[in-house]
Amino acid sequence: MSAAPTSLGLVMLDLDGKSLTREDRQRLLHPLTGGVILFSRNYESPRQVAELTAEIHALRDPRLLIAVDHEGGRVQRFREGFTLLPPMRALGEVWDQHPQRARHLANAVGYVLAAELRACGMDLSFTPVLDLDFGSSAVIGNRAFHGDPHAVCELAVALVEGLRQGGMAAVGKHFPGHGFVAADSHTDVPVDNRSYGEIEQTDLIPFQHLIRHGLSAVMPAHVIYPKVDSKPAGYSSVWLAQVLRGQMRFQGVIFSDDLCMEGARVGGSIIERGQAALDAGCDMVLVCNNPLAADELLAGLDRRPSPMSLARLARLHGRAQAPTLTALKETEAYTRAGHAIAGVGFSSGELPLAGTPQVGERG
């Protein structure tokens, strides 16, 4: 058996089940692999997922990043044994009546979200959603805090501070904004025909505000904005290099969204998609729900991370020495935050039935 790689790679992969298979280990030990994203199918209990993350982290040094889509509401991958978190729109609804209470709740949600995930070995969650709720996107919908950029800025800053208190970095998505278009990039190729000026005066405001507050990572949308560039944002050096890195001075990690989503297929083969995302400015690319595509990318992508990308990625590892979930639940901070958010924001039909697809499932 060859020695484990001594640096992180550029690709984040998923797993088939609740424990590592021989094929999983081979993929995770590939030099191009840099991270793992977990889904509901990988979760049975806090103890099981903690053992799984410990096994993944033990494979390599530096440790692979372990991520999850765990926003609250419809997009919460781990439920049994975890606090059920409200959709972000619920915080926006509180904001309309009591802004200070909404900030407090957002901070509590961020803390509980991060602390529970860190207790089970996760490094980061792909949250918060910074898209504006224009009322037209079902896939974003109540995942967005609000339609008012100012409200989104205030609530997102409070949530990100809660994530930090829980030991976790934040990933703002879906740059430069997915909330205006009706089409779902999981199943379609959305096109947003607004001008750059219109987007700058609305959707970009929360991203710019969070960047000023030290946002650690960004995930671009698989959406085409033809008045700015003919390519989806995730493949666009205009959006990622000129706007995000240049004008907005973002210094953190750029993750692609899943390259197997329908909105990403315009980039060609999986190798061409991976190359296009990295060429545009992504530091790490995601390949989910398609093991054959993952193997093809690992075999065919001729690329190594830059020293700058490695430095950015290293800062995303979760804060060391997180307490166990049992120990966490005995702390005053956790108890206080849990009481604050208990019962907030779940409308009829909000929780999906077991076994049904959740909004935001990649691919």
The set of catalytic residues is: 186, 257
d(CA 290, CA 135): 32
Which string of DSSP letters, residue by residue, matches 66-125?
EEE-EEETTEES--TTSPPPPPHHHHHHHHHH-HHHHHHHHHHHHHHHHHHHHHTT--EE
The closest alpha carbon to 211, from 162, 268, 253, 249, belongs to 249
Nearest-Å Rg of the Cα atoms of the chain is 19
β strands within the chain, DSSP E: 11-14, 33-38, 65-68, 70-72, 75-76, 124-125, 171-175, 217-220, 253-258, 284-287
d(CA 15, CA 11): 13
Q: Which two structure tokens, joined as six digits, stand for 213?
A: 């507050």
Instruction: Say which amino acid occupies 10.
Output: L
